[in-house]
Amino acid sequence: MQIIEARRGRPIEQLLWEFYVRDGLSIGEIGAELQIDPSTVWKYLKRCGIQTRRPGTHAGRRAKLARTAEEGETHGHASSAR
């Protein structure tokens, strides 16, 4: 984790809190972002005292924004640049 902290310039606790709690990313998404195995993400969430969610219950901002954008386009509510 020291390599990740050095690369990102922040402690792992802060990174995990930002990704998992603030942004709502899944453990798998965090693993992909940090290029580590999701089981390692899970282990460090536990070590940092961050309560984990049940699998499949993440509602990340990115996912919400993507769904909202798709729904707007589907229902003809997308704004068009003129």
Residue 76's pLDDT is: 54
- Count CA within 13 A, CB hemisphere, residue 65: 6
The residue ranges of every structural domain in the chain are 2-74
pTM of the model: 0.69
- What was the pLDDT predicted at 64? 56
Helices (H), 9-60: 12-16, 27-34, 38-47
Ordered per-residue pLDDT tens for the chain, 82 residues = 899 999 999 999 999 999 999 999 999 999 999 999 999 999 999 999 999 998 877 655 555 555 556 666 555 555 445 4
Q: What is the pLDDT of residue 72?
A: 65
DSSP, collapsed to helix, strand or coil, labels residue 79 as coil
